[in-house]
Amino acid sequence: MLRFILRRVGISALILLLGSVFLFILTINSGDPLKDLRESRDENRATQMEQRTRLMGLDQPWYQRYWVWLVGVGKCFTLSCDLGRSSTGVNMTAALGDAASSTLRLVTLATVLAIAIGVTLGILAAIRQYSGFDYAVTFMAFLFFSLPVFWFAVLLKQFGAIKFNNWIKDPSVSLTTAIVIGLLAGITVASVLGGDGKRRLMTFGITGLFIFGAITYFDSVGWWRKPALGLGIVVLVSVAAALLLVMLTTGLRNKKVIYAAATTIVVGIIGYFAFQGWITDASYTRLLIMLGIAVAVAIPIGWFWGGWDKAVAIWVSIGTAVAFALMTALDQLLRNFAAFLEAKGNRPVIGTIGSGTPNFEGAFWTGIWDWGVQLILPTIVLTVISLASYSRYTRASMLETIQQDYVRTARSKGLSERVVMSKHALRNALIPITTIVAFDFAGLISGAVVTESVFGWQGMGALFQQGLDRVDPMPVMAFYLVTGTAAVLMNLVADIAYAFLDPRIRT
């Protein structure tokens, strides 16, 4: 296995090196970096051209300029990167750090959401092949895949930012809108859960009435500007998450695992009050410490109740603890929405330009709201782009796996459909998906160029665009250093994941 990994690392490094050479040559031959100065009528034009020539090394052969850049990149192994300076004198190492942090924050969240939602939809569509839900997922997948990125982004700016900013000033939901939302929610949930006609009708009615009642209640108490979940909703969602984990692992027959999840929730309720001070006056360090404590407490709970299935009980307890912790954080975040609106003052709640509000001052939770609302719209754009491919590939892979002999054998042995799908079919169906994840992550960074341009994010896209416009290889090569390395590393991870999922691939 070690030899397999080392061979892949060597090949990946060679590909990365050759790609950087070709990109450098293409960039420096794409135009004239002195064009703006040649057209200038400034008296100091000659001096400025001489300074830029010296700064960019235009009097040197291309291979010497490339070698200087490569040596600077090599210093990254000693944590002292030197990516040179742009044609305007900007330190590219510092500029890349700011741009990469902005873009990776956006792309990482979009990738995680696309994988979670897309793979789940693909699995459900495969299990319920040719059903109404399957057709709906297929239609939405092709629709999202065909959407022009810039057009969809502009629509989101109009309806997700401008219209929302106008609505949140005096929020209210009409009776007709509440009924329509309830009907749509009922249809969606009924189509996902399936069953016979009676069960679908009951699911539709219960869901529709619940959503309609919730919206009406929220509207009457002014929840839209002062939202909160409360301990009851936190516990309810945690119980639902625990039941889901139990059903996906051992089923409801294993009482020991259920007791472990229930004990974890009880301990979570105690911790909710014990750490209330830290939750209210939070910081990233405190949140990580509390999450670590939740996981550390969940492990012995699962071990104590697990019996002969301790490993599964521990994982279910950890999952329940993490769900409780996340819902607690979400509750506190919602409680600070009113403070966020007050801190914004007369400024738009969701800005259409930039990744944050300039000179914004607020506490920890209001600060999260500030960069979080700016993250919503571009994240939706990038997530929708990838959602189609994940759902379609997962559906096709699951359908192919379900028809294999070993799946039929598992069913003939009397295993439940849950065990057959989760433990036999899903693992083998995930092998092709690993390739999609690897390519999609790097592709999203490149696709973020358009998204960042529409939403005014100063990320990798802006860096790349500036380099092309000025025929400056330094910003372009900095962009390649991140995107190329991400593409190579993700493909390397995919190769290693292949080897673990199917040991035959190692040879």
Contact 77, 70 (CB under 8 A): no
Q: Tell whether 215 is covered by a domain.
A: yes
More confident residue, 266 or 154: 266
The domain total for the chain is: 2
Between residues 416 and 23, which one has the greater pLDDT? 23
What is the 8-class DSSP label of residue 157?
Answer: I
474 found inside a domain? yes
Would you say residue 52 lies in a domain?
A: yes
Of the residues 186, 221, 256, the one at which a domain ends: 221
Q: How distant, in Å, are the alpha carbons of 149, 266, 297, 298, 481 from that of 304?
A: 51, 15, 11, 10, 49
Cα dist. 293→274, 288, 313, 325, 352 in Å?
A: 12, 9, 18, 10, 39
Q: Stretch 288-301: mean pLDDT, rounded?
A: 95
In-domain check, residue 398: no
Percent of the chain with pLDDT over 90: 32
Confirm if 111 and 440 have CB atoms less than 8 A apart: yes
Is the pLDDT at 507 greater than 60? The verdict is no
pLDDT at residue 69 greater than cutoff 60: yes
Q: What is the pLDDT of residue 269?
A: 96
Summarised one tens digit per residue, pLDDT across range 115-159 is 889 888 888 888 888 887 888 888 888 888 888 888 888 888 888
Contacts (Cβ under 8 Å, ≥6 apart) of 243: 252, 261
Q: How confident is the model at residue 211 (pLDDT cuts 50, 70, 90)?
A: very high
pLDDT at 311 over 70: yes
For tokens 């991140």, the residue is 482
Share of the chain above pLDDT 70, in %: 96
pLDDT of residue 195: 72
Last residue of a domain, one of 189, 221, 253: 221
| CA dihedral for 346, 348, 354, 356, sign (positive or negative) | positive
Give the C-alpha separation, 86 to 107, whole Å: 25
365-387 mean pLDDT: 86
Q: Nearest 5°: CA angle at 10, between 7 and 14?
A: 140
- 374 touches 355 (CB < 8 A): yes
- Answer yes or no: is 353 within a domain: no
- Asked if the model's pLDDT at residue 238 lies above 70, the reply is yes
Contact 410/424 with Cβ under 8 angstroms? yes
**pLDDT for the residue numbered 280:** 92
pLDDT above 70: residue 446: no
Which residue segment(s) compose the domain that 77 sits in? 2-96+458-506
Which pLDDT value is given to residue 486?
A: 80
pLDDT of residue 506: 55
Three-state SS at 492? helix
- More confident of the two residues 189 and 241: 241
**Domain assignment of residue 469, yes or no:** yes
437 has pLDDT over 80: no
- Contact predicate 381/451, CB 8 Å: yes
- Mean pLDDT computed over 24-33: 91
Q: What average pLDDT does the segment 362-382 reach?
A: 86
Band the pLDDT of 275: cuts 50, 70, 90. Answer: very high
The alpha helices in 403-472, defined as continuous H runs, are: 405-412, 417-419, 426-455, 460-469
**Which among 119, 123, 197 has a CA at the least distance from the CA of 417?**
123
Least confident interval from 1-5, 243-247, 325-329: 1-5
Stretch (H or E) spanning 190: helix 175-193
Helix runs in 194-229, H state only: 197-221
Nearest by Cα to 157 from 374, 331, 385, 366: 374
Please tell me the predicted confidence (pLDDT) of residue 499: 67
Residue 279 domain flag? no
Q: Is residue 41 part of a domain?
A: yes
- Which of 191, 221, 251 finishes a domain? 221
Q: What is the pLDDT of residue 380?
A: 87
Q: Is the pLDDT of residue 113 over 60?
A: yes
Angle at 142 between CA 141 and CA 145, to 5 degrees: 85
Q: Report CA-CA distances (Å) from 182 to 207, 208, 250, 344, 346.
A: 7, 4, 34, 32, 33
Alpha helices by DSSP H, 362-425: 364-402, 405-412, 417-419
